Structure 1
């Protein structure tokens, strides 16, 4: 009987063992390769990634710079078409709302460029309007003046008068009177204001005597008047004004009628020789509007010089713009404020004035 040889079996087992070892080693190398960090990208790929990061937030940064330019130099905005420049200047304080709108995409994009660029409009807006938010009033003043567009559709003239009397104004100007309501205001104010004059849509009531009273022809019907108020501290030339309305429609910011009336008013003011002058009423425009410059270059806005905040007056439920103004020349405003809402769609405005010492008034038309 012959014993079987085992040499071939041993060789087969060794082969299978080496193959298993090789497979295990290969699997280990594969696992290590999977766990190992990936190789750095090639140089062109790194360059593309850097450019992509640099471009991130570029649009937001450009918009931030544009916003800063609009706020700092609104006069550079062309007024055509549609009086666009005047419209932007009218709502200029509200450009602050664009800043949060730009912060959101800067945060979403996580862009240092966009975040850094927002410093520019914030700084410009704060520089131009930050002082407006401060209280610039001071004690003193010779008399209090107030103005109110009472609204021709006012359903409660008596209630409106009660609000105005609470202001204790020495001189009170009313705009947008009608034949129906003018007599009601006349009766309600008679006991507090013994001196008054009104014609058509504007009127002036005073605790002091009035002289040299006349209507001014700035439009075909009466929307402006002038009177001299004889106070114990000196004479005051008071102009009551209601400029024509403006609209925003498909034609743009329609200001032609207002601007033409303003031109006629400023021509009257250029002939004024009184030392103390106040021009008050509804101007249907902001003091920042370039159309107001023929007036504002010679007269100071009491809200700018002695107010607290922007003093928005229209619409009364949520005021967004100050179109009811008090401008002074010679006289100095010591304080300025808005009065509580009445049944009108405008808020009343008031100011306390210091008058220059009494001197002869002289002629208005030298």
Structure 2
């Protein structure tokens, strides 16, 4: 038998192919203020660059704030990484902004940015979430970056909102989805357990031994998480501890290699880019 001969007439682009690898990173950068007392967006950018992440979710960024020199930290880090970005200010003080961002070199489209339930008090700052759609090997992948509150009650309400129809429960959020960020929630917390009922914690996939991310120098708490669903598999997970990571912020970056199954009719070239038969990103109104 000629083993090289095709056994059917299906076109090459319709044949099953392997999943596309996507490296994501979540990192609370604490307004780029290191534990050494130095504001250094360039240090954060260099650290992120060394991880080779495709999608970067950052929390606690200052934009035009006097305390951090008036720098647009989201823009500065994205520029250094040569990535596009979307920033969502969870808090505004006149022209000074504070919030979260998603950066990537992949095709990206903003779907939604908004607030999460909670009160703005001395102890409870506003919280929000940022949802983008990225295209990986021709397949739309939903990515939501968030930073939950410090109080148990507000975290439960915020977790429930993220699972509801405004976010992950929205019909536009079908298929592969990634929820990541600083949840301020240990695995024993009610908010974490609520999310874990519907989503896979990448640090627990395939019997992995999870590791803490906070505080950076002597991590004891696991409060930064990456959750996935919709056929997203986990290839590898690591906490970034090398070089200046324990000094650059009070959190450590959490990095995950994910496998995204392609849609039928999508083929991937040697460079990882989709070719003929790709499924374009959907236009979604939320």
TM-score by length of 1: 0.55
Partners of 1:329 and 1:289 in 2: CA distance:
21
CA contact (8 A) 1:266 1:295 kept: yes
SS in structure 2 of the partner of residue 303 of structure 1: helix
Structure 1 stretches of 5 or more lacking a match? 1-139, 247-254
Which residue is equivalent to 1:334?
235
Which residue is equivalent to 2:197?
297
Partners of 1:303 and 1:192 in 2: CA distance:
26
Partners of 2:31 and 2:76 in 1: CA distance:
17
Deviations, residues 82-116 of structure 1 (Å, cap 9, x unaligned): xxxxxxxxxxxxxxxxxxxxxxxxxxxxxxxxxxx
Which residue is equivalent to 2:257?
352
CA contact (8 A) 1:240 1:279 kept: yes
Which residue is equivalent to 1:104?
none
Which residue is equivalent to 1:143?
22
SS in structure 1 of the partner of residue 75 of structure 2: helix
Partners of 2:117 and 2:183 in 1: CA distance:
13
CA contact (8 A) 1:225 1:239 kept: yes
Cα distance, 1:335 vs structure 2? 0.8
Cα distance, 1:188 vs structure 2? 3.4
Deviations, residues 278-332 of structure 1 (Å, cap 9, x unaligned): 0000000123423323321111000000585321001111111110000000211
Partners of 1:188 and 1:362 in 2: CA distance:
28
Partners of 1:282 and 1:145 in 2: CA distance:
14
Higher-Rg structure is 1
CA 1:356/1:158 → structure 2, altered by over 3 Å: closer, same or farther? same
SS in structure 2 of the partner of residue 285 of structure 1: coil
Alignment size in residue pairs: 220
Normalized per residue, the structure richer in strand is 2
Correspondences of 1:1-366 after superposition (within 5 Å): 142-152=21-31, 154=33, 155=38, 156-179=40-63, 180=65, 183-200=72-89, 201-219=99-117, 221=126, 223-246=128-151, 255-267=152-164, 268-272=167-171, 273-305=173-205, 308-330=208-230, 331-340=232-241, 341=245, 342-358=247-263
Normalized per residue, the structure richer in helix is 1
Partners of 1:308 and 1:262 in 2: CA distance:
24
Which residue is equivalent to 1:43?
none
Partners of 2:82 and 2:117 in 1: CA distance:
28
Q: CA RMSD in A?
A: 2.6
Structure 2 stretches of 5 or more lacking a match? 1-18, 90-98, 119-125, 264-278
Cα distance, 1:362 vs structure 2? 6.0
CA contact (8 A) 1:286 1:321 kept: yes
Partners of 2:207 and 2:249 in 1: CA distance:
22
Cα distance, 1:217 vs structure 2? 2.3
SS in structure 1 of the partner of residue 192 of structure 2: helix
CA contact (8 A) 2:32 2:61 kept: no
CA contact (8 A) 2:110 2:132 kept: yes
Partners of 2:207 and 2:46 in 1: CA distance:
24
Deviations, residues 70-93 of structure 1 (Å, cap 9, x unaligned): xxxxxxxxxxxxxxxxxxxxxxxx
Partners of 1:148 and 1:307 in 2: CA distance:
23
Partners of 2:207 and 2:20 in 1: CA distance:
14
More RCO (CA 8 Å, sep 6+): 2
Cα distance, 1:257 vs structure 2? 1.7
Partners of 2:285 and 2:74 in 1: CA distance:
32
